[in-house]
């Protein structure tokens, strides 16, 4: 009769350990695979964000803007619909392009000699019809202080805390003056009964919200786990720990299955 050889206690323990390690290795790999792919893909995209223009491409998906808590601006003003001249807070929009980020809230926009003129409470901005900032004036260049409103009746007028001022043809000299007739001060168009203004307001609203979030920021948050909230980075730490355990267990299993050399 042939005697069966039973594994010794030491060999039995080693076999059980290998089975447990193999099971841990397999399940850790399955559970972390999705997040490993997420980290790897987002990392590659972040490394090439400039070449792919991800760093300058803004998020336009409303649900994602809502997720980041970026609210709809309440101070959107449409001054002209075609072509579109609008403001949202301190931002000036020409068609669908951000033309200017002013120092404070915009007080008015008027067209002038194939350009636009926008003002906040202390600066005057010359903007091309294509949305490029051409010039900025302030008190150091002779501009009156305390700007309230702007008008164009063939001449550019400013209403300020100290009265009205009229510009010369080059917008260099400002002279205190009293107009002979009421001036057409720049005021936003009303949305009531105006579908064009309403659609323009919705478009500017989305553009203004989108201005605060780029796809590079989203990818960075995904990569670090911040996208998933306060516990996200800790969860990504667990994924990293799982990869470390997988690496160690993988090396252990390889050593155990490595064929022994015959002497």
pLDDT above 60: residue 7? no
Alpha-helical regions (H) of the chain: 9-47, 62-67, 195-210, 215-224, 232-257
Contacts of 176 (CB under 8 A, 6+ apart): 162, 163, 164, 165
pLDDT recorded at residue 76: 92
Question: Where would I find the H helices in 88-158?
Answer: none
Query: pLDDT value at position 195?
Result: 84
- Answer for the pair 109, 117: CB distance below 8 angstroms, yes or no: yes
Hunting for tokens 């005021």 — which residue is that?
Answer: 187
Closest CA to 204 of 96, 82, 116, 111: 96
C-beta separation of 95 from 208 below 8 A: no
Higher pLDDT, 58 or 231: 58
Angle, CA of 225, 241 and 35, to the nearest 5°: 40
**pLDDT score, position 82:** 84
pLDDT tens-digit series, residues 146-183: 999 999 998 999 999 999 999 998 888 999 998 888 99
At 38, is the pLDDT very low, low, confident or very high (cuts 50, 70, 90)? confident
Across 114-134, average pLDDT? 93
Confidence at 245, pLDDT banded by 50, 70, 90: low
Q: Across the strands, what pairs with 152? A: 156
78-82, 97-101, 254-258: the lowest-pLDDT one: 254-258
* pLDDT of residue 41 exceeding 60: yes
Give yes or no for a contact between 188 and 78, defined as CB atoms under 8 angstroms apart. Answer: yes
CB under 8 A, 24+ apart: contacts of 119-128 = 119/147, 119/149, 119/150, 119/158, 120/90, 120/147, 121/146, 121/147, 121/148, 122/146, 122/147, 123/147, 124/150, 124/158, 124/171, 125/92, 125/100, 126/171, 127/92, 127/94, 127/99, 127/100
* Span of 84-98, 195-209, 239-253 with lowest mean pLDDT: 239-253
> For the residues 184-210, what does the mean pLDDT come to?
87
Residue with tokens 């008190």: 139
Global pTM reads 0.69
> Concatenated DSSP letters for 55-88?
GGPBP--HHHHHHTT-PPPS-EEEEEETTEEEEE
Higher per-residue confidence, 106 vs 28: 106
Averaged over 82-103, what is the pLDDT?
A: 91
Q: Is the pLDDT of residue 6 over 70?
A: no
Mean pLDDT of 110-134: 93
Check: CB of residue 148 under 8 Å from CB of residue 159.
yes
Using 50, 70 and 90 to split pLDDT, how confident is the model at 19? low
The H or E element spanning position 211 is none
**Mean pLDDT of all residues in the chain?**
83
């Amino acid at each position: 009769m042939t005697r069966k050889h039973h594994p010794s206690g030491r060999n039995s323990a080693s076999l059980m350990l290998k089975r447990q390690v193999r099971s841990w290795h397999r399940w850790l790999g399955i559970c972390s695979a999705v997040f490993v792919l997420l980290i790897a893909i987002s990392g590659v995209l972040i490394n090439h964000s400039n070449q792919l223009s991800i760093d300058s491409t803004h998020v336009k998906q409303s649900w994602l803007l809502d997720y980041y808590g970026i609210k709809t601006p309440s101070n959107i003003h449409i001054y002209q619909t075609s072509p579109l001249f609008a403001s949202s807070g301190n931002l000036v929009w020409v068609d669908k392009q951000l033309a200017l980020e002013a120092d404070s809230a915009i007080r008015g926009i008027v067209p002038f000699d194939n350009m636009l003129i926008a003002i906040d409470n202390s600066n005057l901005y010359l903007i091309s019809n294509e949305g490029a900032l051409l010039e900025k004036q302030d008190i150091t260049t002779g501009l009156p202080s305390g700007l309230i409103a702007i008008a164009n009746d063939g001449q550019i007028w400013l209403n300020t805390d100290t009265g009205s001022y009229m510009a010369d043809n080059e917008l260099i000299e400002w002279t205190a003056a009293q107009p002979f007739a009421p001036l057409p001060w720049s005021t936003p168009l009303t949305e009531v009964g105006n579908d064009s203004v309403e659609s323009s307001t919705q478009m500017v609203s989305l553009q203004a919200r989108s201005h605060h979030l780029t796809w590079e920021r989203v990818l960075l948050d995904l990569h670090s786990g911040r996208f998933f909230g306060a516990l996200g980075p800790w969860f990504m730490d667990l994924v990293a720990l799982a990869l470390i355990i997988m690496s160690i267990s993988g090396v252990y299993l390889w050593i155990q299955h490595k064929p022994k050399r015959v002497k």
